[in-house]
Amino acid sequence: MSLAYFNGRFAALDEPLLPIEERGHQFGDGVYEFFRVYEGQPFMLEEHLDRLYRSADLIRIEIGQSREELKGIMDELMQRSGLSNGDIYLQVTRGIAPRNHPFPAVPSSLSLTIKPWRELPPATHQEGVGILLHPDERWLNCHIKSLNLLPNILAKQAAVDQGCFEAVFVRDGIITEGSSANFYLVQNGAIRTHPLSNRILGGIAREAIQRIADAAGIPFIEEAFSPDELFAADEAFLTSSGVELVPVVTVHGHGSIGSGVPGPIAIELYRQYAALTRQPAQG
């Protein structure tokens, strides 16, 4: 079953838990992580925790729990829920205090939820998806996994309104990433993606895909590219912990990428990612 946790208390998802003066609610003043659990093991757990603590440090939030304490809470959440495969959202905010912009002298707040996987239709991976190119209007610290996602939400809805799976951001003539995924093209057998910087969120699935590509001898080039270079690409794909790897076969208003069907590199990377994540011993 789905289950929630807030500051030491486990509860049903529909049980009221959040005080009105919680700063995540008032300001979006916090950071979060998403973990996909396979057979009771959160995939790349240490890498996710690295990013969580890094994001918190960058906005000067002190997480009140150690890594081991967070792992213990996650383990108990999984055990109480009975879910061996699921999605965990973990959120840390600056805490509970009367609404005022300066940092309050209060402990941070911790909340988690676990739910069954959000299953994608099989055709998503088998046939690929379409994307909408959208102006990147986000703040300039996209490497921080903060709660402030309004530009992402608006872009995603613009894509949905056009019948697309994802919005892919363009800033200063360069493709950065998707509203909730990293983005890649494939040209002449090599993968290209925007380099790690403050303009994108360094994805954990991206890290896994880079390792898979390196092991398979597929060049993984961290180099920005333009929409015109995307239009001329052989393949394109998206990655995130939630969608894993999804081939991109069309761009709204432009047409097909490559042959208009998932390409061999995207297919092989997804096959290897699926094999990796579905090993029971994988952490």
Q: Which residues are catalytic?
A: 145
The SS3 call for residue 205 is helix
157 membership: H or E segment, kind and range: helix 150-161
153 membership: H or E segment, kind and range: helix 150-161
- Looking only at the bridges linking them, the beta strands covering 182-187 and 86-93 are unpaired
- Angstrom distance (rounded) from CA 106 to CA 99: 13
Sheet holding 41-42, edge to edge: 9-11, 3-6, 109-115, 86-93, 30-38, 41-42
The SS3 call for residue 211 is helix
Angle formed by the axes of helices 67-81 and 45-58, to 10°?
Answer: 120
Contact assessment for residue 90 and residue 35, using Cβ atoms and an 8 Å cutoff: yes
The 3-class secondary structure across 117-130, one letter per residue, is: CCCCCHHHHHHCEE
